[in-house]
Structure 1
Amino acid sequence: MRFAILGPLTVHDGHGNVPVAGGKLRVLLATLLCHANRVVSYEKLADVLWDGRPTAAANTTIRSYVKRLRRTLGAAGNRIEARSPGYLIRVEPGELDAKEFVDLCRAAEHDSRQEQWVECARHLERALDLWRQSPLVDVPSPRLQAEETRWLTELRMEAVERHMLATVRLGRHDRAVNELERLTQANPLRERLHQLLIIALDGLGRRADALVAYQRIRRTLADELGIDPSAELQALQQRILVSDTVPESREFRPVDVPRQLPATIRHFVGRQAEQKEFTELLDTAERTGTPAPVLTISGPPGVGKTALAVHWGHSEAHRFPDGQLYLDLRGFHPSDTPLTSDGAIRDLLSSFLPDDARLPASASARAALYRSIVADKTVLIMLDNAHHAEQVRPLLPGGPRCLTIVTSRNRLNGLVAMEGAHPVPLGVLPDEDAHLLLQRRLGKGRLECEPDAARAIVDLCHRLPLALSLVSARGATCPQLSLTTLTEEMSEKDSTLDRFRTDPGSADVRSVFSWSYRQLSDSAARMFRFLGLHRATVISAPVAASLAGQPLDEARAALLELAAAHLLDEQGRDRFTCHALMHSYAGEQAAREMPGATEPALRRVLDHYLHTAHRASMLLEPIRQPLSLDQPEPGAQVIPLADHHEALAWFRSEIALLLAQVRLTAEKGYDRHCWQLAWTLADFLHSEGRHEDLLDTQRTALAAARRTGDLDGEARVHREVSRANQLFERPDGDCPHLIRALRLYRQNNDIQGQGRTYLSLAYLCARQGRYPDARDYSRRALDFARVCGDEGGCAAALNSLGWCHAELGNLEEALANCEESLELHRRLVMPAGEAYSHDSLGYIHSARGDLGRSVASYVAAIEVWRTLGNRVEEAMTLRRLAEAYTRHGHAAAGHGAARLAETILLDMGQVGLHLA
């Protein structure tokens, strides 16, 4: 196979050209070839195929195009492989003209450094012969041509210049002059071509023509750019004036190579993965002949972005022989004056031009001059503290061998999307590296003498490099201070951020955070302050919207801005985390700027949790008696959960925060919220096997309900405390709770509540083996449910009654009761009740000697429990299935079911669970 893109796109399969018809297919093939042997993402392909405006069904359409392209290419179609997150095309050595061109140029560059000019010229002649026209001239993609043609064309011009250099070095001045006169006319601003022309003319003894050529480039630069020729060109003119010939051995490089990287951090630790990633990206670019990447290092303040960039830059400085530039763009400087792009270009130009050089009058001309100067150089360009993508974009070099590193507190998504920058997000240090940083600063011996204090310091600093550096500086300057004393000093501070105060005028954690905070929009700054009022550092968009009392879409926009500024970390859709020290800073700003906002915000958040949890609890267990809730506070967001699965997912994602809210409401005296929220969690906590949490929350709720004087609330919670006690095999403590609940329901004239409480008494008696009493309580529960029209209560009471009959040997009555219960649960669409009825029928059929129907019933129950995600009840049903198998002589099957049950409980940490 032979692929060619240095001109019209062609494919040759050894027998002839393979026609690739259709504009989109040609664009697709060209894009893959421009990134040969590398994966091109769906996002990148869509961007090129639709010129920055992809359709909603872009990915599906791309897959269709790939199938058509594979068919078009015939046997070569298998070269296109699906690789996450897109596709690549495999190209072998010598099969792609652009790759061959790059390889020949690199060989020629090596030859020139060894001054092997014959080989250099030969390699470049072969390379330039590969060009037929402009790259991809017949491919209808402005985006692709703009991106790929630019660097290939620039590399071709470098090859032409180096070929002319080799021609001059070999003394072929006649040939060189003719070609260079044509080239300088076509490229009047490329000083290197003019230098070579002047040398070639002088080499032919045409000194006057050489001086005329110098004056021509001098006037052109003055007229077009408003600058003088480079110091090197001026020196060349002087040598011609004072000597017979110009020394041809001189390399045309600036006399002074810029080495501007700041001093490397003496105590730098960690970040090995990121450094390896940088090196591999640079290695890949050199190996494949593709342009060096643009790296964007982003992260929150104080995380060590600049330290990483500088440390790696020093370690790889030898790979950039034309210099290393460094520029602080002051995007988050406390003076609030970020460096403009034009100001940055002026500073960068000063690295290459003499102090008295006259710069072009316009900003665009200065930018063009900057790109021209670095176009043929191998330079590391470090742009520190960028504010946004537009500040950086004009500073990106056009040359393929210049690697650019940009650090920012913002994500710079624009550079990633439009310039193909490689994003490198940076977080706090891993625990091991945080300890190592402390050790480097304070000495291994001090840490070994007080290991607990060292761990405490790392914890108090939350592994933020800036905080660790500030605290260790305090310890290093006071060697007589023990680490324990230092830890005590930190813990005694009234404010978390006061632990990291330094000398007046020096930057500390608070001031560094403030630089990012002041850059936020009003909406994002307001949201940031509200997040400081929330105790948790993990937050969802609906909670944030409730905190701020604003619509969900506005809250999302503010959260995304905070995440883009690395004041939050985005953990997934609508979920964010805030670093503990950043959270403390947000709380300080909230206290200072909106002191009266805490109470209303807390009420909105509590109502968000309560109303959403109540909806979720009713979806999990429709048989429950719904609560009579007050209307939520204006601005509180209630998530419209649609079904059981959404409810279960929400509970699982929010349970830690929900448990914290129960404790908070008890602490703050929101007693009604406390008992109601705890009540909504009961079924979920039971189904997840979180029985200690269930007991703790219900005990807290009981105290809160008693303080409110709410009879219904106290009765409900008494029943939940009884259920929790039963899970811990505490039957002696259960009955008084149920008797108290029954009295409260009677006092409140709640018929349904009394019926449900009799049902709870039936469950308790059954657990104690008191089946006659359990049967009587089940009958009472059924009677009360029928009186008040509680069909869910009827279905549950029938199942309980059937179970009691089965235990008493009344199998036919048991079968009738449980079959009626099953049908009623099905009609009411209560899947959990349906599963309980199936489970009871499995037990009854086993007792009747019908193993087949017993197994079928148990399996039906297990399938429902799995659908509902209730692993505890799934395990309990598996245990009873195991007993049925064993009872009927199928020991192996029984052992398998029992083992599966124990595996489930082991996974949940509930191996010792004993449930009826």
Structure 2
Amino acid sequence: MTIAFGVLGEIQAHRDGIAVDLGPARQRCVLAALLVDLGRTVPVDGLVDRVWGDRPPQRVKATLYSYLSRLRQALGTAADPPLAGTTSIERRSGGYALVTAPGLVDMHVFRDLAGQARAAATHDDDDDGRAAALFERALGLWRDEPFAGVDTPWFNSLRESLLRELHACRLDRNDVQLRRGHHGALLTELTERHRSHPLDERLAAQYMLALYRSGRTADALRCFERVRRALAEELGSDPGPELRRLHQSVLAGDPAIDTPGGAPTAVPVAGGEAAPGSPKTRAPVVPRQLPAAPRWFTGRAPELALLDGLLDPHSEQDRAVVISAIDGSGGIGKTWLALHWAHQQQDRFPDGELYANLRGFDPTGEPVPPHTALRGFLGALGTDPSRIPAEPDAQTALYRSLTAGKRMLIVLDDARDTTQVVPLLPGSPTCTVLVTSRSLLTGLSTAHGARSLTLDVLTDSEAHQLLTRHLGTARAGAEPEAVATLLEHCAGLPLAISILAARATTNPDLPLAALAEELHETQTRLDALDTGDITADLRAVFASSYHALDPDSARGFALLGLAPGPDISLSATAGLTALPTARARALLRRLRAAHLVQEHTPGRYRMHDLTRLYAAEQARGNPAGDNDEALLRLVDFYVHTARAGEAILDPHAVPTEAEAPAEGSEPYTPDGPEAAMAWFESEYACVLAAQTSAMTRGWYGRAWQLAWSVDTFLWRRGRIHDHLVVWRSGLLAAERLGDPGARALAHRRVSAAHLRVGEDDTARDHLRRALTLFQDAGDLLNQGHTHQALAQAWQQTGDDRQALHHAERSLRIYRQLKDTVWEANASNTVGWFQARLGAYEQARARCQEALALCREVGYREGEAATLDSLGYTARRCGDLELALEHYGQALALRRLLNDTYEEANALSCIGETHHALGRYGHARDAWQQALTLYQAQQRTPEAENVQEQLDTLHDRG
């Protein structure tokens, strides 16, 4: 298990390619401060100075120790002593050190690669290719300015130093590439760098030389004049001797500064004998057909590394043509990635590059036939047009003959399918092929061994960097809220970001806030992403993919745009589309191959936000009744599957009545408690969204049912705020239905949610309303339940006597009804409050009675609650070992029930009991587990309390 660290951009870590949650910003700073001095001890005071500067908080050292402890947990480095060969944060005399391989920290890798490159560049010209490759690898590690977002004096100083190292590395790389004659590939970057550093004479010399070698002598001379004037005006000096000598050489057209390389030799004409009257030899042709490198290319470091691996000399490249197929949705940046990588690797392909835009999904025309692309390739390879065979198979054979043995790169952009690509594949294993497509080219992988690389959206930091590069740092920094809104609605799609940036840069007086405002309305958001040019219109990009679908897939795509949740399962898709499961699976497979949906986890599918907007537009073209019927089927799938799951999780609850599911909705019953919890875990966000959708359409009975059916899951998982939102909607739905029973139940459930967020008065008010409604209806059982809830509400205010009063009333009702389960529940509640009031013998007897009843009927949830009460009673009586035994049994049951909310409470109690016994290591383990659960459940007060206990333990050493 390898952890790689990055500081050349936002501070980050990846474990085997998966991002590690490093916690809040200051905690990341602690990590970065240790990474800079890798393996060396950083004193505690030094860490404080690096992370907080001259503004440390109170109890700064306790906070620092807390951050270090959390980092150990996040990185999995808590082993003591650390395992050999792993990353570890070591506590040493006077400070701390982070120990890992330097090759796992991008800053140290950058310095090492730059050093190797400079050493290679000082030997001879033969090493320039290796030096260039090393320089490019070093520069490719940079994602943004180092320690992005960190603002302390120490980090600011280090950032400036590293940026100077970056600039020097670029200058050294430029010298090497210019010696190799790669001035054309450098020219765009040199233009931008010279604008940013107009007084850097070395950079100016490189820029002048690239301009001169590109046939732009006048521009080179103008560059010199600009530098001369700027130096005179700002520094009062003249250009140095090196720049002056270059100026004279440009004026004189000195051959010494021409492009390196010898004269061309003659080669035979491809395709047989020369035509009558034509020469038998032609100038050698080294095609360089790549379009310009994308100016704003950003990020994609993992993808570039994967492509670099294609050229690994130890791979099986000598046995087969290396083919990489970059696939992904329209506008995701496939062409940008392919061209950026191709330009980086030009030195690997001395025999040239071929490029063809196959227009597989071009909104302005039909896909390019393979034989048309082939004729273009043959011409680029020097074949006389009159010698190109008419038959497509003969063209392919000639093409493969001409590329045999050559080290060439062939880029096939925007392929429609495998059939379009196969005739353009060379036969020689010395060639490399790069294909981009919106389709998943499975046939290319299975028949020709292509390596598939699926491109996803940009990360948040990459998206921000791309927009900032378009707009400029000053403009982006002036309206940070607008920039955040733009990026939120683009959702990492490079084309969308570039379209908005183009609108902003062509209208420099347009506030970014005005542009952001256009994106707020979902139904018109795609209009804001239209520049008026069909090649830069996001709707047109989506349309070209949509129109390539068969009718059934197009209908399914449109209906998926209506699904209210963040994603959708196979079963839910079957309900939405009224298709059998097998046909729904085939539909999703086709849409996934077209990159119109993603299978982000096995069996679950989602659309990019902007793709979904386009799909919803297509759905609006359907008859309104079709859409309503589809959505009703989907809502009923969630309603009835959730009801079945709730009945499994809480078998003692009285079931509620619901309308029969719509035909074709296909709900099902989970196979046991674990399967029910797993279903809710994956679907609860969709269930909440379905409830909102049901409320919007006036399906109030279904909205109430969804609140009822997700209640136990939300309670066990401690999703407090979701619980409150769901039951507020559930209460409103019950009121709209005019059903007193549903209203009463909703009042009681919403009170529990208010109680959990600390709104005691509101909770008791809802319970009083519920009790009145149940009394009016003569519903004795629910009166008992409401008294139980009132007991909990009074406990939260600290009035244990009022709580005991309501608990005893509920117990009398349950005994009158002869309901064993609820009698057990109430007996435990009575015992709990007796213990809180100091009546320990009575409490123990009442809880033992409750425990026997729970075990008699197999009521595990009640058994766990009663064991917790017995543990509390034992602690108050001073019998700590017995308390631990009870708490341990309660914890085992909570885990069996998948009740993480109460699991956290049990762990906290176990930690307190171990601490009282002086077993500090056991206390730390229990509290750390509890803290993780509290934080996941956003239970801030409980988390802060446990963190304080852990800090106290740390201070003990």
TM > 0.5 fold call: yes
Q: Does the alignment pair 1:604 with 2:633?
A: yes
Deviation string, structure 1 residues 669-699 (Cα, Å, up to 9, x no partner): 3322222222333333333333233233323
1:566 to 595, 598, 605: 595
Distance 1:295 1:823, change over 3 A: same
Q: Percent identity?
A: 38
What is the SS of the residue equivalent to 2:625?
coil
Structure 1 residue aligned with 2:386: 356
Query: Once structures 1 and 2 are overlaid, which stretch shifts more, 714-723 or 680-689?
Result: 680-689
Structure 1 residue aligned with 2:12: none
Q: Does the alignment pair 1:234 with 2:281?
A: no
Q: Report the CA distance between 1:451 and its aligned residue.
A: 4.1
Query: Once structures 1 and 2 are overlaid, which stretch shifts more, 434-443 or 764-773?
Result: 764-773
Please tell me whether the aligned partners of residues 621 and 832 of structure 1 are also in contact (alpha carbons under 8 angstroms): no
Q: Does the alignment pair 1:267 with 2:296?
A: yes
Structure 1 residue aligned with 2:421: 392
Deviation string, structure 1 residues 835-873 (Cα, Å, up to 9, x no partner): 112222323445566544332222100111123332331
Mapping 1:188-199, distance limit 5 Å: none
Q: Does the alignment pair 1:857 with 2:898?
A: no
Please tell me whether the aligned partners of residues 438 and 468 of structure 1 are also in contact (alpha carbons under 8 angstroms): yes
Q: Number of aligned residue pairs: give it.
A: 677
Please tell me whether the aligned partners of residues 537 and 579 of structure 1 are also in contact (alpha carbons under 8 angstroms): no
Query: Once structures 1 and 2 are overlaid, which stretch shifts more, 379-388 or 546-555?
Result: 546-555
Distance 1:520 1:237, change over 3 A: closer
Structure 2 residue aligned with 1:303: 332
Structure 1 residue aligned with 2:93: none
Query: Once structures 1 and 2 are overlaid, which stretch shifts more, 713-722 or 512-521?
Result: 713-722
Deviation string, structure 1 residues 134-187 (Cα, Å, up to 9, x no partner): xxxxxxxxxxxxxxxxxxxxxxxxxxxxxxxxxxxxxxxxxxxxxxxxxxxxxx
Query: RMSD of the TM alignment (CA)?
Result: 3.6
Distance 1:890 1:581, change over 3 A: closer
Q: Does the alignment pair 1:476 with 2:489?
A: no
Please tell me whether the aligned partners of residues 388 and 395 of structure 2 are also in contact (alpha carbons under 8 angstroms): no
Structure 1 residue aligned with 2:527: 498
2:486 to 443, 452, 457: 457
1:905 to 931, 934, 943: 934
Q: Report the CA distance between 1:632 and its aligned residue.
A: 1.4
Structure 2 residue aligned with 1:284: 313
Distance 1:821 1:495, change over 3 A: same
Q: Distance in 2 between matches of 1:447 and 1:770?
A: 55
Structure 2 residue aligned with 1:409: 438
Q: Report the CA distance between 1:906 and its aligned residue.
A: 4.4
Q: Distance in 2 between matches of 1:699 and 1:731?
A: 16
Q: Report the CA distance between 1:306 and its aligned residue.
A: 1.6
Q: Report the CA distance between 1:807 and its aligned residue.
A: 4.8
What is the SS of the residue equivalent to 1:284?
coil
Q: Report the CA distance between 1:892 and its aligned residue.
A: 8.7
Please tell me whether the aligned partners of residues 286 and 292 of structure 1 are also in contact (alpha carbons under 8 angstroms): no
Please tell me whether the aligned partners of residues 533 and 590 of structure 1 are also in contact (alpha carbons under 8 angstroms): yes
2:355 to 306, 321, 326: 326
Distance 1:553 1:823, change over 3 A: farther
Structure 2 residue aligned with 1:576: 605
Q: Report the CA distance between 1:532 and its aligned residue.
A: 1.6
Q: Distance in 2 between matches of 1:785 and 1:583?
A: 52
Structure 1 residue aligned with 2:646: 617
Q: Which has the larger radius of gyration?
A: 1
Q: Distance in 2 between matches of 1:688 and 1:565?
A: 37
Question: Which amino acid in 2 is paired with 1:867?
Answer: L
Distance 1:827 1:239, change over 3 A: same
Q: Report the CA distance between 1:513 and its aligned residue.
A: 1.0
Structure 2 residue aligned with 1:510: 539
Q: Report the CA distance between 1:381 and its aligned residue.
A: 1.2
1:724 to 731, 748, 753: 753
Deviation string, structure 1 residues 397-430 (Cα, Å, up to 9, x no partner): 2211110111100121222233221112222333
Distance 1:346 1:830, change over 3 A: farther
Structure 1 residue aligned with 2:582: 553
Structure 2 residue aligned with 1:184: none
Structure 1 residue aligned with 2:657: 628
What is the SS of the residue equivalent to 1:264?
coil
Query: Once structures 1 and 2 are overlaid, which stretch shifts more, 304-313 or 268-277?
Result: 268-277
Please tell me whether the aligned partners of residues 260 and 325 of structure 1 are also in contact (alpha carbons under 8 angstroms): yes
Distance 1:528 1:240, change over 3 A: closer
Question: Which amino acid in 2 is paired with 1:354?
Answer: D
Q: Distance in 2 between matches of 1:793 and 1:231?
A: 92
What is the SS of the residue equivalent to 1:597?
helix
What is the SS of the residue equivalent to 1:297?
strand
Deviation string, structure 1 residues 788-844 (Cα, Å, up to 9, x no partner): 453322321232233345456665554444334334333433321121122223234
Q: Does the alignment pair 1:800 with 2:829?
A: yes
Q: Distance in 2 between matches of 1:636 and 1:725?
A: 34
Deviation string, structure 1 residues 195-251 (Cα, Å, up to 9, x no partner): xxxxxxxxxxxxxxxxxxxxxxxxxxxxxxxxxx9548536999999xxxxxxxxxx
2:708 to 671, 674, 679: 679
Please tell me whether the aligned partners of residues 383 and 406 of structure 1 are also in contact (alpha carbons under 8 angstroms): yes
What is the SS of the residue equivalent to 2:361?
coil
Mapping 1:647-726, distance limit 5 Å: 647-726=676-755
1:752 to 754, 758, 781: 781
Q: Distance in 2 between matches of 1:575 and 1:416?
A: 24
**Runs of 5+ consecutive residues of structure 2 not aligned to the other structure:** 1-125, 127-267, 946-957
Q: Report the CA distance between 1:290 and its aligned residue.
A: 4.7
Query: Once structures 1 and 2 are overlaid, which stretch shifts more, 415-424 or 726-735?
Result: 726-735
Q: Distance in 2 between matches of 1:567 and 1:255?
A: 45
2:287 to 231, 246, 258: 258
Structure 1 residue aligned with 2:248: none
**Runs of 5+ consecutive residues of structure 1 not aligned to the other structure:** 1-112, 114-228, 242-251
Q: Distance in 2 between matches of 1:403 and 1:861?
A: 62
Q: Report the CA distance between 1:386 and its aligned residue.
A: 1.3
Question: Which amino acid in 2 is paired with 1:280?
Answer: G
Q: Report the CA distance between 1:376 and its aligned residue.
A: 2.2
1:834 to 863, 867, 881: 863
What is the SS of the residue equivalent to 2:788?
helix
Mapping 1:96-495, distance limit 5 Å: 231=270, 234=273, 255-284=284-313, 289-334=318-363, 337-352=366-381, 353-357=383-387, 359=389, 361=391, 363-488=392-517, 495=524
Question: Which amino acid in 1 is paired with 2:385?
Answer: D
Distance 1:636 1:744, change over 3 A: same
Structure 1 residue aligned with 2:109: none
Question: Which amino acid in 1 is paired with 2:411?
Answer: M
Mapping 1:807-818, distance limit 5 Å: 807=836, 814-818=843-847
1:540 to 553, 557, 569: 569
Structure 2 residue aligned with 1:86: none
Distance 1:811 1:264, change over 3 A: closer
Question: Which amino acid in 2 is paired with 1:746?
Answer: Q
Structure 1 residue aligned with 2:180: none
Please tell me whether the aligned partners of residues 670 and 676 of structure 2 are also in contact (alpha carbons under 8 angstroms): yes
Q: Distance in 1 between matches of 2:829 and 2:339?
A: 72
Deviation string, structure 1 residues 565-609 (Cα, Å, up to 9, x no partner): 111222011212211111111111111234433322332222222
Distance 1:827 1:340, change over 3 A: farther
Q: Does the alignment pair 1:641 with 2:670?
A: yes
